[in-house]
């Protein structure tokens, strides 16, 4: 089997998917759910204002724009059910999330820029950026 067929790790970078553009959050989360359902290790890294989607109540209040009544949080939950992990940039957390704001249950923790750079340099990982 070639390396492309054996790679089972995917990091998805969400920087453009912000609460003000909820519809931009759907496809990265669909990709995360599909990859996780295919038994890939999946990390979704929320960068910049995208970290707001990890605050309790924010994603749940955003219509995903698919016409089916689902919220952005519904897509987050689906990806999480398949095993995707949701990580927030530690710098973005400090900048965009208040210390008193609760995170969603699916939040897996913080990961800084070094983690993303390490993933991009590691031949076992593939990166998608949205």
Is the pLDDT at 7 greater than 80? The verdict is no
Which regions of 4-102 does DSSP assign to beta strands (E)? 9-14, 41-46, 85-88
Query: pTM for this one?
Result: 0.91
Q: What are the φ/ψ torsions at residue 11 (nearest 5 degrees)?
A: -110, 125
**Residue with token string 């927030």:** 88
**Residue with token string 């949205």:** 130
Domains defined along the chain, listed by start: 3-129 (3.40.1260.10)
Is the pLDDT at 35 greater than 60? The verdict is yes
Is the pLDDT at 127 greater than 90? The verdict is yes
3-class secondary-structure state, position 128: strand
Mean pLDDT of the chain: 92
């Amino acid at each position: 089997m070639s390396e492309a067929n054996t790679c089972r790790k995917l990091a998805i970078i969400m920087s453009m998917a912000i609460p003000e553009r909820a519809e931009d959050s759907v496809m990265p989360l669909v990709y995360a759910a599909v990859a996780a359902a295919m038994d890939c290790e999946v990390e979704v890294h929320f960068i910049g204002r995208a970290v707001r989607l990890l605050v309790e109540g924010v994603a749940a209040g955003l219509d995903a724009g698919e016409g089916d009544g689902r919220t952005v949080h519904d897509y987050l939950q689906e990806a999480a059910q398949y095993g995707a992990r949701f990580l927030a940039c530690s710098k973005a957390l400090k900048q965009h999330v208040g210390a008193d704001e609760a995170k969603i249950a699916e939040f897996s923790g913080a990961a800084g820029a070094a983690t993303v750079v390490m993933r991009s340099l590691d031949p076992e990982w593939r990166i998608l950026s949205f």
